[in-house]
Structure 1
Amino acid sequence: MARLVVIALAILAEASVIILVKFKLMSLAPTALGVFLRALLVSGLLSLLPLAALRFLDRRERESIWLYIAMFLWGTLIASGIASPVIGWIFPTATNLSLVHSDILKQVAQNSGPTFAAMLLTPAVEELIKGLGVFIAFLLLKSEFDGVRDGFVYGALIGVGYNLIDSSFYLAEAYARTGVVPWWQYFVTHHSLLGFGGHALYTGLFGMGLGLSRQTLLPWLKVAAPFTGWLTGYVAHVTGTLMGLLTIFLAVSVVGKGLVSPFSPGSPLLPNPSFWALLISGGYISFFWSFPFVALAGVMLWRSGEWERQVIREELAQEVEPVITLQEYQGVLSDRMLQTRRIQGMSRSLSASIVNAQNELAIRKWRLSHQGRDPSADPLVASWREEVSRLRETS
């Protein structure tokens, strides 16, 4: 089964790369391609911020770096490659929301039907395709998909990967159509809130729904949580698209075409004041529209952290040496929301490995107990105990 999944994913990735290169990159003029490459570099650097934040969120039971890469690549390659032709097939004549010129209000008014249809259905297509990657991880990686926090991390990783490609094409295609590079829109619509104001948030909300389904003991919530999570992400996406378009409308209608160029004629390095005014005002709009969804994600992540610490305290209380010492368990009891316990007298890397194995053991035991299964007969529980003993021998 695993081999078939790997083969299927490899085929999807190859097909997606072909689509992106043949139908997206090769359709760009050389100047637009240069804009795409610059945007790709900037997006890559900006993506380091949310990636670092996600790594911190996952600190108590870190997943394999290969799993991080797989989720990220689902967003950059598979989701981007599949979503683009599907959206183009559904809306071949819809107004492109990245158009930026003085007649934008007139053009959108003339094409209001396909424009607003695209605003409703394009997010649905994107969230379904991105969400498919999270759902596959939910089905196949049961031992690595423990709860709300894991779900958010996986969904946000896919969202960050998707945003890397989507934002770069956004800028290049806007330049190809208008002859200007709307950097301020690029930052406001794709990289707001340290990278969590867009695709990372949308798909992360669906991942949280899946994680809550895995974590809860309530049968009805196991069914309702994934649907509610996806719907919340979709509503956030539609709202974000509407607010992004509203920001463009306000900027163009108030100050006109001149503000799309961030550089003053005599200042090739520093953006002009109007660029910063648009960037800051757009940032405020992005914050206010996204606040309910960010607050929801924040509360759920906080609650998931409380759940993790409680499970770890309860399950490790039943363990003895060499799995955990009395001094180490005191560290478990003193663990806090923004802290990560460390075993004294060990190197940072060895301490992190042992703590991770202990935490994985605790969560695995909790899950088995609440499924009515015997943790003492589980090979994975035995494997985590053996892993702790092996790591201690290397110290």
Structure 2
Amino acid sequence: MAAVGLGILVICALITLILNSFIGINALTQNGASSLLAALTIPLIPALGTLLLVNFIDRFEREPWYLRLATFLWGMVIAIPTAFFIERFIDSVIMNLLEPGASTILRSALQGLNAGFTEETVKGLGLLLLFLVLRDQFDNITDGIVYSAMIGAGFALVENFSYFASGYRNSLVFLIIYRVVLGWLGHPTFTACFGSMLGYTRHTRSRWQQVITPLLGYIMAVMLHSFFDFVDIQAGAAVQADPGNTHVAMLALVAIICDYIPPFIAQMLLLYLLIRSLAQEAAIIREFLASEVSNGVVTVDEYALLQHSFQRTRQERKALWQYGFKHWLRVKALYQAEIGLAFRKWHVSMGDGQKNGYLRQPEDVYRERIRRLRQEIRAVEEQARAKERRT
């Protein structure tokens, strides 16, 4: 309990540091209660959207809630202040090195590269740490995208607090369009370029692919993020240099809108990889549970449901409406135990060591849990049917 309390105090202290140095208490005070309300509520919308999206795409072998929370907090509590102070230091170095008459484009490019390199490195370190320490929870591209999205959502949440606190009065509509409507998946997308490639390495035994593929994903994340920030910074600099020129303002607006095209292309590529990864998860379930059907551990109906996530979700909802919350939890636990058995057998086939979380429990433990949960489910359903017959 003492460790938990200490952890909570540390997190609260870090969040206070973020709010004080990054968001700017002065900005909140000067703009009044309406600014404070906007700064604390509007950024929650894209964060909530990302959380719902993650829950939607994590369809088969679901990631533990505590790891989702941990990655979210990495982006929110660790990555943000670290990146903020590093970026400020590098920006000051850039300003000192560049001559006063240096090209605005060069200045914008260096600032954009600073943001892209620093932020994607700090966010990526969280992913890499998870991949190395909890490798058994990082099974494929889907997992890489899920954890990346959570880190990006936490990072973007605090960053949006800053934008809405400081720019509430002058550019609220622009910020909503720029940060919420168009840019709500920006940070998750950038980080997922690296995370998806980390996940890819779990399905290859080639040593050079295990090194080169994540490196290429990281470079892609940095370059995509850097180019995005470069266009944004350069457009703002052009408008500030000639504030009364409507032609420049229109060109800057077009540039900012077009700036979302590269992330959109990256999102389409990630969607393609995600679909392939989900199909691979279904194939793992199909291959490694076939023998369990023959042995009577998994029923034929369950075997079919487990391979089709939407049908399985529909069955889970049916259990919720007909038999209540506890029964819904049992049904979900049954399906996850069966999927866990499939992935346990897959990890064995991949040659993973005994330290892997799936391999710590023998297959018979999974089978016993499946039988116990099915007995509980059948008992509840038979009791409900008997009650209906009596009435």
Q: Could you say which residue in structure 1 is the equivalent of 2:292?
A: 319
Structure 1 gap ranges (5+) = 96-106, 259-273
Query: Take 2:279 and 2:133, find their aligned partners in 1: how far apart are those partners?
Result: 26
Query: Take 1:279 and 1:42, find their aligned partners in 2: how far apart are those partners?
Result: 25
Name the aligned partner's letter for residue 318 of structure 1. Answer: S
Query: Take 1:85 and 1:32, find their aligned partners in 2: how far apart are those partners?
Result: 25
Judged with a 3 Å threshold, the aligned counterparts in structure 2 of structure 1 residues 11 and 93 are, in CA distance, closer, same or farther, namely farther
Is residue 241 from structure 1 mapped to residue 223 from structure 2 by the alignment?
Answer: no
- How much does 1:323 deviate? 3.2
Contact kept in structure 2, 1:174 and 1:181, CA below 8 Å: yes
SS at match of 1:59: coil
Is residue 285 from structure 1 mapped to residue 258 from structure 2 by the alignment?
Answer: yes
Q: Could you say which residue in structure 2 is the equivalent of 1:186?
A: 175
Is residue 80 from structure 1 mapped to residue 53 from structure 2 by the alignment?
Answer: no
Q: Could you say which residue in structure 1 is the equivalent of 2:376?
A: 394
Structure 2 gap ranges (5+) = 321-327, 378-391
1:334-375: CA deviations, max 9, x gaps?
A: x27x65466588554433222222112212211211217799
Normalising by structure 1, we get a TM-score of: 0.76
Name the aligned partner's letter for residue 215 of structure 2. Answer: F
1:227 corresponds, among 190, 193, 215, to: 215
- How much does 1:172 deviate? 3.0
Q: Cα RMSD over matched residues? A: 3.9
Normalising by structure 2, we get a TM-score of: 0.77
- Structure with larger Rg: 2
Judged with a 3 Å threshold, the aligned counterparts in structure 2 of structure 1 residues 373 and 119 are, in CA distance, closer, same or farther, namely closer
* Mean CA deviation greater in 185-194 or 149-158: 185-194
User: Superposition pairs for residues 120-269 of structure 1, below 5 Å?
Assistant: 120-174=113-167, 180-193=169-182, 195-196=184-185, 198-245=186-233, 248=236
Contact kept in structure 1, 2:116 and 2:225, CA below 8 Å: yes
Q: Could you say which residue in structure 1 is the equivalent of 2:280?
A: 307
Query: Take 2:209 and 2:42, find their aligned partners in 1: how far apart are those partners?
Result: 41
Name the aligned partner's letter for residue 366 of structure 1. Answer: W
- How much does 1:64 deviate? 2.1
Q: Could you say which residue in structure 2 is the equivalent of 1:17?
A: 15
Query: Take 2:120 and 2:216, find their aligned partners in 1: how far apart are those partners?
Result: 13
Query: Take 2:117 and 2:14, find their aligned partners in 1: how far apart are those partners?
Result: 19
Contact kept in structure 2, 1:13 and 1:77, CA below 8 Å: yes
Query: Take 2:352 and 2:45, find their aligned partners in 1: how far apart are those partners?
Result: 47
More helix per residue: 1 or 2?
Answer: 2
